[in-house]
Amino acid sequence: MGFFDDIGGQPRTRRSWPRPDGQLPVPMATRLLLARTDQAAIAVVGLWAFTAGFEFQVSVQLRAAVPGTSAASFLSALDGEPLEDEFLRLGIQFSTGDKAANTELRATRETGREPLGPTMTTRVAGAGALSRDWRYWVSPLPPPGPLAFVCAWPAFGIAESRAELEAEQILAAARGSIDLWPRS
């Protein structure tokens, strides 16, 4: 069974939190190459640590433009339809085995179950002719241990692949986040 096969059907143990407003995160210099073929490359190129989670940026570089597709087509999938090969699958996995992915919203709609943490939601997207960038919010913060970033993109011959970093780096950075207007 692959990473993305059971997303949405796993038991959840932690609640998630929205990205905090009024908080300055700690930016982390990050560059994790997740996959590279002759036609496409996928990398995590930035990470921002907050007290309740983290945000990360994924950059996709294409060698040549893909006719008939838009940036949105790489991350959109209709409920109830099988995922197209063009759909870029992205996910994270905590050291506990808990995971979240960009395929999860669809699974949540199909099962009607309320998502409990960890969750991964799209925050911002942008595109050029040969590049695509997405930022994702992940909550809660990961526990200590390895944090895996996982991707698969059948249209470009990218089988499930992963890269890891130590979650302690994110946890230490999160302690440095600044609440601009602390509650009294």
* pLDDT > 90 fraction of the chain, expressed in percent and rounded: 56
Question: What are the helix and strand counts (H, E) for the chain?
Answer: 2, 12
pTM of the predicted structure, to 2 decimals: 0.84
Cis check: omega of the bond before 143, within 30 degrees of 0? no
How crowded is the C-beta side of 30, counted as CA atoms within 13 Å?
A: 28
CB 71 within 8 A of CB 59: no
Q: Read off the pLDDT of residues 128-179 as tens digits, 9 standing for 90 and up.
A: 888 889 999 999 999 999 999 999 999 899 999 999 999 999 999 999 999 9
Residue 93 to residue 101: CA distance in whole angstroms: 9
Mean pLDDT (the chain, rounded): 83
So where are the chain's domains?
23-177
Say which residue the tokens 């943490």 belong to. 117
Report the top-level CATH class of 23-177: mainly beta
Structure tokens at 44: 């995590």
Residue 131 to residue 165: CA distance in whole angstroms: 24
Residue 104 burial (C-beta neighbours within 10 Å; 0-12, 13-18, 19+): buried
Q: Read off the pLDDT of residues 23-71 as tens digits, 9 standing for 90 and up.
A: 999 999 899 999 999 999 999 999 999 999 999 999 999 998 766 555 4
Asked if the model's pLDDT at residue 116 lies above 50, the reply is yes
CB 91 within 8 A of CB 150: yes
Structure tokens at 30: 């990050």
Residue 89 to residue 85: CA distance in whole angstroms: 9
